Chain A
């Protein structure tokens, strides 16, 4: 139990009559990178939203970092150590990189309530360190996000999640809107996170990317987890079979 970072038991979410997620049992161990795959509407994003507190689950239990948790909102989840790279990035376009990294948790020189003086040097230093740690290359830290490419923005968003000694990072299709080189850059960051032993849940449609990056693949279909396979025990065709429903997976799961 001690090396399990995240565990869900019978996690279920109904939207009215729609059973978006049913009895999902999921485990993530320390330092492990897991991919969540599945067709559109298979329940991937629903699953992520229950874990990050964006939505409230219908039924089931979640343990995080050894404790049972009930997050009232995404901010609570973040404070507990779950950092999420949202699809819409959640960056402030008109602020520079350090300001975005430290948005809402600024380092302060003198505490004067809302008028606290910012420790800009320390934030800049910490930003540089974070970028080195995640191997993100941003040419000019004082440039605003507005002036950056999609890839650079995504890198800033990822660097932000990695800056704050988080216990779990969740990325929801981080490369969906990126070009080839930008995708490569984001993948490099994910590899660096792996080297640093930071656990990660990666939601992705990209089969090559998933096989390149993660240790384990979990397939969702029609709101249920239909496969939970170590990378070396499977291949692309097998995964596609699970995603499309050619293989049901119930027998394998029970056998395992």
Chain B
């Protein structure tokens, strides 16, 4: 009865028990649906633009500029989502692991303030830098590695606290990171007593110059897509989010893994803080407000399931592009910014409803 080693598994009919596999029933990868949504959205803006404004959303219509596409618009779309996108990468792996991180926006604020104070120049136009925090200690014009390490340290500490709280006190991630959200915002305001911190060194300012945010975003997205797909860490993220008890029974060290997941999310938020403050050449206590929700929204729109276990960085990247296209499209149609937020809200809820619906459909075997 037993098939021999030579036989291919797919050739054995042994014990088939009437279970057969129908390739047509195989669902599309969720990312494909998200990409389709992006294409439809762009097409919709293109259509509305052509009909009502006589202008193209996607293509170049100006005589004095060469090129098929409206490159300026495409750049703006990706540039404006790349900083929140960096946060969304960290948030994605947290959500896949079955958690949530509400603290990332505040971590951006606190990290931007603290890191920027180590990145300031001594003199502005020949005068002493009026905003320099540590000018009395002579901590000005430091090499760029100093504020970078300080930033990553801040993100790491905040993320570690999140992770340790969640893994060892077993409080819900929602509460732990909500606490960090409030606390980190407090730190951001306390650091300079509410004053903005400005005038960074040129090497610090170079980090967020031009299209650098996009380059950093895409590189990190690629890195984490590979990590989630090809490493033990990634596999365990999906396993824990999918069935935590099964993961525990399989010998995965759940607590250690969770600490690591939140620590990485914190570090990614701090990288976003560096890019943002560098791009703006200043750090303010209010930086990054609501970024956590935008990041979660990008992930959710990108097909990351809030119940854990499903989603990918590629999905989140496409989700972030949908975000960018919506904002840019509304500007293109000369609609008020108020509508953008309203529509954003509808899309977030819609994406979650869609996810629930897909899950239920699968559960009943449709």
Using a CB–CB distance below 8 Å, which chain A residues touch chain B? 74-75, 78-79, 86, 88-95, 99, 103-106, 108, 112, 114-118, 120, 128, 131-132, 135-140, 143, 146-147, 149, 151-152, 155, 181-182, 184-185, 188-189, 191-192, 195
Known: A74-B249, A103-B247, A105-B251. A95 touches B235 (CB 8 A): yes
Contacts A137-B19, A147-B25, A182-B17 known; 10 new A-B pairs at CB < 8 A: A75-B249, A94-B310, A95-B238, A95-B242, A103-B252, A114-B231, A114-B256, A115-B232, A116-B231, A132-B7
Q: How far is the CB of A174 from chain B (nearest CB, A)?
A: 13
Chain A interface SS verdict (over half) = mixed
Q: How far is the CB of B207 from chain A (nearest CB, A)?
A: 25
Stretch at the interface among B8-16, B45-53, B213-221, B281-289: B8-16
The count of A-to-B residue pairs whose CB atoms sit within 8 angstroms is 138
Complex Cα spacing A138 to B16, Å = 8
A135: contacting residue among B14, B19, B238, B249, CB under 8 A: B14
Asked if B227 is at the interface (CB within 8 A of a chain A CB), the reply is yes
Complex Cα spacing A185 to B193, Å = 70
Residues of chain A contacted by B256 (CB below 8 angstroms): 114
Q: How far is the CB of B249 from chain A (nearest CB, A)?
A: 5
Residues of chain A contacted by B14 (CB below 8 angstroms): 135, 137, 188
A118: contacting residue among B3, B232, B239, B249, CB under 8 A: B232
Q: Mark B97-126, 1 if CB is under 8 A from A, else 0.
A: 000000000000000000000000000000
* Sample of 23 A–B contacts (CB below 8 Å): A74-B249, A90-B243, A90-B249, A92-B243, A92-B309, A94-B238, A94-B242, A94-B309, A95-B235, A103-B239, A103-B252, A106-B235, A114-B232, A114-B257, A115-B227, A116-B231, A116-B232, A120-B230, A143-B21, A143-B26, A146-B362, A147-B27, A147-B362
Q: Contact check, B238 vs A188: say whether CB atoms are below 8 A apart.
A: no
Q: Contact check, A132 vs B9: say whether CB atoms are below 8 A apart.
A: yes
Q: Contact check, B243 vs A140: say whether CB atoms are below 8 A apart.
A: no
Q: Contact check, A92 vs B238: say whether CB atoms are below 8 A apart.
A: yes
Residues of chain B contacted by A105 (CB below 8 angstroms): 250-251
User: For residue B15, which residue of chain A has the nearest CB?
Assistant: A188
Residues of chain A contacted by B23 (CB below 8 angstroms): 140
User: For residue B363, which residue of chain A has the nearest CB?
Assistant: A146
B19: contacting residue among A75, A79, A149, CB under 8 A: A149
Q: Contact check, A182 vs B19: say whether CB atoms are below 8 A apart.
A: yes
User: Which chain B residues in 339-366 approach chain A with CB under 8 Å?
Assistant: 362
Asked if B24 is at the interface (CB within 8 A of a chain A CB), the reply is no
Closest 3 CB pairs of A and B: A139-B21, A104-B250, A185-B17
Q: How far is the CB of A116 from chain B (nearest CB, A)?
A: 5
User: For residue A120, which residue of chain B has the nearest CB?
Assistant: B230
Complex Cα spacing A56 to B43, Å = 64
Residues of chain A contacted by B230 (CB below 8 angstroms): 117-118, 120
Q: How far is the CB of A243 from chain B (nearest CB, A)?
A: 29
Q: Contact check, A104 vs B241: say whether CB atoms are below 8 A apart.
A: no
Asked if B71 is at the interface (CB within 8 A of a chain A CB), the reply is no
Complex Cα spacing A189 to B10, Å = 16
Residues of chain A contacted by B190 (CB below 8 angstroms): none
Q: Contact check, A139 vs B1: say whether CB atoms are below 8 A apart.
A: no
Q: Contact check, B20 vs A132: say whether CB atoms are below 8 A apart.
A: no
Known: A104-B247, A135-B1. A117 touches B231 (CB 8 A): yes
Known: A74-B249, A91-B246, A94-B310. A151 touches B19 (CB 8 A): yes
Residues of chain A contacted by B5 (CB below 8 angstroms): 132
Complex Cα spacing A88 to B9, Å = 27
Complex Cα spacing A141 to B1, Å = 22
Residues of chain A contacted by B251 (CB below 8 angstroms): 75, 78-79, 104-105
Asked if B202 is at the interface (CB within 8 A of a chain A CB), the reply is no
Asked if B334 is at the interface (CB within 8 A of a chain A CB), the reply is no
Q: Contact check, B231 vs A140: say whether CB atoms are below 8 A apart.
A: no
Complex Cα spacing A47 to B20, Å = 37
Complex Cα spacing A48 to B206, Å = 64
A95: contacting residue among B10, B27, B239, B245, CB under 8 A: B239
Q: Contact check, B232 vs A135: say whether CB atoms are below 8 A apart.
A: no
Residues of chain A contacted by B25 (CB below 8 angstroms): 147
